Chain A
Amino acid sequence: DTEVTQTPKHLVMGMTNKKSLKCEQHMGHRAMYWYKQKAKKPPELMFVYSYEKLSINESVPSRFSPECPNSSLLNLHLHALQPEDSALYLCARSQPGPQFFGPGTRLTVL
């Protein structure tokens, strides 16, 4: 099973809402990643977890809060987002070595 699954596929939220994005993988890979991708731009790295510990935080605003409860699951908690945070949020895993991506969550902030 090479899949990375992400839920939900689409999310619309207001600026005062709290929501979470979920990512799952069952390959036991050591590293899991969150990326943000705006339209017509490449993905930008947000966070990296290695062995369930946060190893990279690319100066992401605190309204984005990552969590890695176990080796299979990665969450991204969202609170008080801005309209400019609307984007495709991608999760990936690696052993290290090649990265494998999920289908993404399309987030719209109203």
Chain B
Amino acid sequence: KQEVTQIPAALSVPEGENLVLNCSFTDSAIYNLQWFRQDPGKGLTSLLLIQSSQREQTSGRLNASLDKSSGRSTLYIAASQPGDSATYLCAVPGGSGGYQKVTFGTGTKLQVIP
């Protein structure tokens, strides 16, 4: 059974700092890895998707990397802003259930202090 862990569980940083969020998964037979943000009580907003054959994806101030062999992904946020405050989740489809069997990580709650 796929298990996905995110470290740290919570993070508080001053505005302007660069930061790294971590995602680890136990089953490397994944199709892709997707990063989301979730604001309190809201749905999930897709940030980046990395295909299993890729190493990195970038969107604006966000950069996500994937090392499938070691079961790790990182989300790098440059020059953090108060608007980045949210919970960040990684999600991996794959394993015995195929690409539709999606397992979410435990989440990192980020607070950016002005």
Contacts and interface: CB of A to CB of B under 8 A. Distances in A.
Given A99-B34, A99-B91, A106-B41, A42 B102 contact: no
B30 to A, nearest CB: 13
Nearest to B47: A98
Interface residues of A, number: 26
Contacts, number: 57
Given A42-B89, A42-B106, A106-B41, A99 B46 contact: yes
A37 to B, nearest CB: 9
A104 B42 CA distance: 7
Given A43-B44, A90-B43, A98 B100 contact: no
A9 B41 CA distance: 11
Given A90-B43, A101-B43, A103-B42, A96 B104 contact: no
Contacts of A101: 36, 43-46
A48 interface: yes
Given A96-B99, A97-B32, A97-B49, A42 B43 contact: no
Contact of B102 (A4, A99, A102): A99
B40 to A, nearest CB: 10
B101 interface: yes
B105 A45 contact: no
Contact of A55 (B49, B100, B104): B100
